[in-house]
Amino acid sequence: MNGSRSMLRLATAALRQGSSLPGSAGKGAYCKTEFLVRGYAADADAYDKMPDSGKKPDSGEIVVEIPVKFNLHLLESGPPQEAITTKEELMKSYTDMSVIRRAEISADMLFKSQMIRGFCHLYDGQEAVAVGMERALTFDDSVITAYRDHGIFLGRGGTALELFSELMGKKTGCALGKGGSMHLYHRKHNFWGGWGIVGSVPPLGAGLAFAHKYMKKPNVVVAIYGDGAGNQGQLYEAQNLAALWNLPLILLIENNHFGMGTAEWRASKKVTHYDRVPYIPGIKADGMDMFSVREAFKYCKEHCLAGKGPIMLEADTYRYHGHSMSDPGSTYRSRKEIQGMRQERDPIERIRKIILTEELVTKEELKDLDKKIRAEVEDAAAKAREEPFPSDDELFANIYKADSGLVAYGCDRRKTKVEMP
């Protein structure tokens, strides 16, 4: 447990400073029915119908059905199966998810043109998780996640220019160009980063939650990890400490069902995560439905702020891209499966249908909004390409202890040499 305690201290200090299933026919052998039956959705029939919605009499409120039932663990009741929303929230949610989607499309092109170097993990397909979470949180709540962090950063209030600048290593990036794709931060809005080490986030999140409780902050912490990290030992250490100390921690599992190229059922005896801990309650929500995520987060936040300790929240979601840009994403799943997910469960299309069904705007107005979003995102990417790189002095700052008297060299010892102060 020493490792987890060290990470707890690190996070606290940071906050103070600011077996195979039957029917498999090999690689990619999923059709829609198989995909849903394998546990990727709580209710397969729910995706064969439009979400019911309707305005409440004499009000601007709109009631939206959440078709997929929440699964509960150690809870007598859970979130409601319908959500109350407004035109403003629907349009903002549509815009926010569309910005994330368009940003990832641009990031894909920038990586392929070698403007982005190193690792790059894209978030498209999972937008409802980031946006639904933010509909229930405030920027006084803390969020920390793993390396697939672009959408979380934008959801926390980061700008597209800051994102692209960081992805391209420019000094106007959110981490001065030194973090890159996996290490985005927004301290002002309590986003404590993307972290590249699989399974490192739950202990850090427990540390942040300890800091919140220690300083009597009336807020919660969300620690986000994927299904690929669900069997890591430090996760269970963090869960134990969070429960032992009754911390206000929401452990969010973005279950996109593939740890790199390994399907969850090949690596885990138990493929669900919300019900793995016998002493921590949990909820499974539809991670492709923004309202399902929103209502689940509202419930979880109330649970934590009532002093009931940590809670697990599993979001059943899906990534359209491969694990990273070096992964085509089609060797362990079929293109038909990916296309089926886009057609049946796409989170943005779901919101679009509600907007049009309620006649909040016209198809032409939505098309104009889509064009505006695309133009703004592409403009941010173009501006980021022209931003300067950080100086050598800045690149080597915060690496060595001050007054060390050391000389730091770059990859090319003849060109990059900096004497440390």
Could you report the per-residue pLDDT of 93-151, keeping only the tens digit for each? 999 999 999 999 999 999 999 999 999 999 999 999 999 999 999 999 999 999 999 99
Mean pLDDT across the chain: 89
Domain extent listing, the chain: 2-390, 392-421
| pLDDT (tens digit per residue) in 59-100 | 689 999 999 999 999 999 999 999 999 999 999 999 999 999
Tell me the pLDDT band of 27, cut-offs 50, 70 and 90: very low
State percent of the chain over pLDDT 90.
78
Residue with tokens 């170097």: 117
Sequence-ordered alpha helix ranges (H) in 222-289: 233-244, 264-267
CA nearest neighbour of 119 among 270, 325, 261? 325
Cα–Cα distance for residue pair 46/413, rounded to 1 Å: 60
* pLDDT at 38 (0 to 100): 36
At 134 the three-state DSSP class reads helix
| pLDDT (tens digit per residue) in 327-344 | 999 999 999 999 999 999
The answer to whether residues 302 and 309 touch, using CB atoms and an 8 Å cutoff, is no
- Domain 2-390: which CATH number of 3.40.50.970, 1.10.10.10, 3.40.50.720, 3.40.50.300: 3.40.50.970
Cα–Cα distance for residue pair 107/103, rounded to 1 Å: 6
* pLDDT at 20 (0 to 100): 33
Residue 12, pLDDT above cutoff 90: no
Residue 175, pLDDT above cutoff 70: yes
At 389, list the tokens.
């790189």
Residue 21, pLDDT above cutoff 60: no
Residue type, 3: G
Residue 35, pLDDT above cutoff 80: no
Residue 310, pLDDT above cutoff 60: yes
The answer to whether residues 276 and 270 touch, using CB atoms and an 8 Å cutoff, is yes
Local structure of residue 229 (DSSP, 8 states): G
| pLDDT (tens digit per residue) in 259-276 | 998 999 999 999 999 999
Residue with tokens 């290490």: 183
Cα–Cα distance for residue pair 336/32, rounded to 1 Å: 9
* pLDDT at 37 (0 to 100): 30
* pLDDT at 97 (0 to 100): 99
* pLDDT at 4 (0 to 100): 55
CA distances to 29, 121, 324, 332, 334 from 328, in Å: 17, 12, 8, 10, 11
Tell me the pLDDT band of 206, cut-offs 50, 70 and 90: very high
* pLDDT at 304 (0 to 100): 99
* pLDDT at 10 (0 to 100): 56
Residue type, 263: A
Residue 301, pLDDT above cutoff 80: yes
CA nearest neighbour of 89 among 69, 111, 61? 61
Sequence-ordered alpha helix ranges (H) in 251-326: 264-267, 290-305
